[in-house]
């Protein structure tokens, strides 16, 4: 199971980081980055299954491929933004983490404009 690998990588990297902070604190960020990248790579293996499931669900409904692409882009932005924010917080740069978080949210809203527009058009056609 992949979750066991993810938890194992997390625990091992935390132990290494705790030990490194005593002797070489500058290397603890590198261990954190490496562990995060490994966990992200393990998680990306599951994404192909998720994408195929979403595509099959979208083909059964009247959702266009445009909305599917938007959904996947927004999800990717959210995952990458959270990863970057976590790295910045681990490095002690919470101010930059906040700016990355805000930028990610703005990008998600900007990409979602066609969905929001379509939803507003549908609502306005229903209402008198």
CA–CA–CA angle 76, 77, 78 (5° rounding): 90
Instruction: Give tens-digit pLDDT for 37-95.
Output: 898 888 877 877 887 887 777 777 766 667 888 888 898 899 889 988 988 888 788 99
Contacts of 10 (CB under 8 A, 6+ apart): 35, 39
> Could you tell me which residues come within 8 angstroms of residue 121 by beta carbon, excluding any fewer than 6 positions away?
none
Could you give the percent of the chain with pLDDT greater than 70? 97
pLDDT band per the 50, 70, 90 thresholds, residue 99: very high
Number of Cα atoms under 13 Å in the Cβ half of residue 109: 6
This model's pTM is above 0.85: no
């Amino acid at each position: 199971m992949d979750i066991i690998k993810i938890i194992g990588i997390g625990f091992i990297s935390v132990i290494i980081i705790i030990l490194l902070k005593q002797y070489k604190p500058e290397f603890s960020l590198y261990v954190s980055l490496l562990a995060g990248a490994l966990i992200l790579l393990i998680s990306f293996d599951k994404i192909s299954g998720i994408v195929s499931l979403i595509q099959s669900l979208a083909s059964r409904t009247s959702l266009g491929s445009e909305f599917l692409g938007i959904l996947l882009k927004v999800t990717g932005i959210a995952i990458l933004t959270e990863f970057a924010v976590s790295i910045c917080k681990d490095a002690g740069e919470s101010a930059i983490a906040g700016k990355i978080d805000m930028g990610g949210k703005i990008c998600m809203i900007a990409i979602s404009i066609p969905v929001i527009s379509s939803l507003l058009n549908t609502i306005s056609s229903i209402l008198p």
